[in-house]
Chain A
Amino acid sequence: MKLSKKISISTLVFVMILTLLLSGCSQSSKPAATSDQGSSQSAGQKIKVAFVYVGPVGDFGYTYAQDQGRKYLESHMKNVETTYVENIPETADCERTFTDLAQKGYNIIFGTSYGYMDYMKDVSKKFPNVVFEHCSGYKTTANLGTYFNRDYQARYLTGMVAGKYTKSNILGFLAPFGTPEVIRNIDAFTLGAQSVNPKVQVKVVWTNSWNDPATEKTAANSLIDAGADVLAMHVDSPSFAQTAQDRGVLAIGHDSDMSKFAPNSILVGDVSNWGPYFVQVVKEVMNKTWKPTQYFGGIKDGGVIDITPFSSKVDKDFQAIVNAKRQDIIDGKFVPFTGPVYDQNGNLKIKDGDKATDEMLLSINWFVKGVVGSIPKS
């Protein structure tokens, strides 16, 4: 029993040491000391920009597109030094990552996943001299702005292509979570498909993850088994397109040009090009004109969202039709969510001739008529 006595004494010592350390913690005020770094940089000094990603840069989808933007920023601006951290979960851990980066003297920090929202808000208050930019959220502070693109514009156009090339009139859609962003994309895709093919249906399968290639493959197979002959998705990886190609069906890419992964299947896709926006933010910060805004750029804003080149399977005449629609969107002559738009139950959601407001688009929680599947809700 001597040994156990020894151990309980060492426990006591351990507890005491920890308590001491903790009381030390509560007395210090760590953020104040380091947060000055942000303001002390002058024109000659390098601006340090950090990016926090939810997935790996090698996902060849969402995170890949954000990282391409980072590379664009680095090659288009002098005096800018960038870094990134990947695979940062949307849990308490991300708060530490943002704090860590702010303490290491980064002047601008981009967080690219909606789940970072509240953590970025908290950290931004602790580091008033650091500029934070959050992709896809809706909360801002004095030094936290948000940015996103009008993904639904490109979605509508790729939906047109899907609607044109389906033979079974069933399109399959892999969706991660029932967030407004995902629902808006599915709706726009469906409306685009219906505009060229009123009989079309869009079947939705939930994968419950932004990036889970194995589940995505299974989900793609189940959609094909259910009769879908064109697949689309709003997850982060191109694995669904490889499945589509193996099974001999068509696919629509998303976030980055995915044609190299399934050249026989991919017809077209949307592509996010964040680089110019990142450059704009950094320039504003350098000129001290940056203000927290809720940026929501569309096709007309220099490629922040657009469609990829068409595959040779899409015939030239139809390409011209889609391109004309794209031009109408740029010119403001056409808005994808123009009434009458009905929800799945046939309720009129947008009146004839009305257009969806940004507020509606950013908080949309209903599927349009023609979508088969339900949003997880009460």
Chain B
Amino acid sequence: MKRKLLGSWEIKKTNTSSGLKKVVISVTSIILGLIFAGLFVLLTGKNPLELYTEIVQSSVGSIYGLSETIVEMIPLALCSLGVSLAFRMQLWNIGAEGQFYMGAFGATYFALFFSGLPKLVLLPLMLLAGLICGGLWALIPALPKAFWNVNETISSLLLNYVAYLWIAYLVYGPWKDPKGNNFPLTKPFSDNGTIPVFGNTRISYALFLMFIIAVILFFILKHSKWGYEIRVSGSSRKAADYAGMSYIKNVLLVMFLSGSISGIAGMAEVSGVLHRLQQTISPGYGYTAILIALLARLNPISILLVSFLMGGLLVGGYSLQTSGFPSSMVSMFQGSILFFVLAGEMFNNYRLVRKKA
């Protein structure tokens, strides 16, 4: 396919796209995105270089900043791994935020009502509860999708609000700390219900979970027969049916696993960072996770890297303000980077070439 552009240049479709080229394009896109965002900083009369320095300085420039970046990275990466699995099968699970909240709900149930159990029993129970609650929450949109082909994008998105309100009901109602002066918080988890942290940072051992899940997903997707099934079912249901793969079974299983990983993220957040359940436990991790999954092209390992970058951007964003930059700068940065990365996507499949005379 050839399309006409200006003068002696034309855009040509290319069939090959090497790994190196992909990386070069991604990195270039991100840099262009940063430069573009920098132009807006200039408009506000500030020096963009100062802003970049501040972001880098505060997110990775000190041990504290780095540790906080990793604190943000854990929920982002877990949710993103969750949605990426569903995206592999072209199941558009936009419900990571809700699955995250439901995971936190399941974990909190055990933390509050079985707080006397020893740590080695209670934590696995909480993990299991978070996993199952997140997974079941994702099954709700999966069932109508599997049996009646109901669009899962909208149903999974709308369930986020249901989960949020369910948590609101609990913290304002039955789970409210009786000694908390009527403030909408549960009572703090007992020591047995909290995941240990590294030294005096806020990074919990959930970090290991993140790596383990990423590696497992990587091998499932690249090396297992089931990973192949997922991809085939995603690209064509008919092909999957001909090959004797059960589409319905795979939709349900993939959505359950996808939700359960976000559920684990929710468990890790309440048990590892917040140590209690409250109305707002996520500043939108489940939504940023979708962005990360797409930027990372659904590759579990790239997801870890992109989550680290996004975590750094979040951490840097909060401290930008203390240096006198407006708070909306970071959203603008994210938008700008996404725009350029999506636009850069074109160069993976097309090439600008000089027309032969």
Contacts and interface: CB of A to CB of B under 8 A. Distances in A.
Question: Are the chains A and B members of one assembly?
Answer: yes
A25 B183 contact: no
B322 to A, nearest CB: 6
Given A88-B318, A91-B283, A93-B318, A177 B184 contact: yes
Given A14-B305, A101-B322, A375-B172, 6 more contacts: A3-B19, A25-B203, A83-B324, A178-B182, A183-B182, A377-B172
A245 to B, nearest CB: 28
B66 interface: yes
A25 B201 contact: yes
B327 A208 contact: no
A21 B318 contact: no
A85 B327 contact: yes
Interface in A148-192: 177-180, 183
Interface string A336-378: 0000000000000000000000000011110000000001111
B238 interface: no
A342 B66 CA distance: 55
A43 interface: no
Nearest to A88: B318
Contacts of A104: 322
Contacts of B215: 8, 11
B174 A378 contact: yes
A85 B215 CA distance: 39
Contacts of B183: 114, 117, 179-180
Nearest to A137: B183
6 contacts: A25-B66, A25-B201, A91-B274, A100-B322, A177-B172, A208-B165
Interface string B53-77: 0000010001110111011000000
Interface in B303-320: 304-305, 314-315, 318-319
Given A83-B322, A89-B283, A92-B71, A28 B218 contact: no
Interface of B: 19, 58, 62-64, 66-68, 70-71, 165, 168-169, 172-174, 176, 181-185, 188, 198-203, 207, 211, 214-215, 218, 222-223, 269, 273-274, 276, 278-283, 299, 301, 304-305, 314-315, 318-319, 321-322, 324, 327
A-B residue pairs, 9 tightest by C-beta: A26-B199, A85-B321, A376-B172, A378-B174, A363-B181, A378-B173, A365-B182, A87-B327, A25-B201
A377 B67 CA distance: 38
A47 B300 CA distance: 48
A332 interface: no
A97 B200 CA distance: 17
Contacts of A362: 181
A92 B305 CA distance: 22
B198 A25 contact: yes
Nearest to A92: B273
Majority SS of interface residues in chain B? helix
A86 interface: yes
Contact of A377 (B64, B173, B324): B173
Contacts of B174: 378
B281 A91 contact: yes
A191 to B, nearest CB: 19
Interface residues of A, number: 60
Given A3-B19, A363-B182, A24 B322 contact: no
A250 interface: no
Interface of A: 3-4, 7-8, 10-11, 14-15, 18, 21-31, 50, 56, 83-93, 95-97, 99-101, 103-104, 114-115, 117-118, 138, 177-180, 183, 208, 362-365, 375-378
Given A83-B324, A92-B71, A103 B64 contact: yes
Contact of B199 (A27, A56, A177, A375): A27
Q: Which of A27, A100, A362 lies at the interface centre, i.e. has the most chain B CB atoms within 10 A of its CB?
A: A100
B200 A138 contact: no
Contacts of B278: 90-91, 115
Given A14-B305, A21-B66, A96-B315, A178 B282 contact: no
Given A27-B199, A86-B321, A178 B172 contact: yes
A90 B280 contact: yes
A377 B183 CA distance: 11
B68 A11 contact: no
B58 A100 contact: yes
A180 B182 contact: yes
Contacts of A30: 62-64, 200
Nearest to B62: A30
Given A25-B66, A91-B283, A179 B274 contact: no
A296 B314 CA distance: 36
A11 B273 CA distance: 25
Contacts of B301: 7-8, 10-11, 14
B18 to A, nearest CB: 10
Contact of A93 (B19, B211, B283, B305): B283
Nearest to A376: B172
A365 B318 CA distance: 34
B181 A91 contact: no
A109 B172 CA distance: 29
Nearest to B276: A118
Contact of A178 (B184, B280, B305): B184
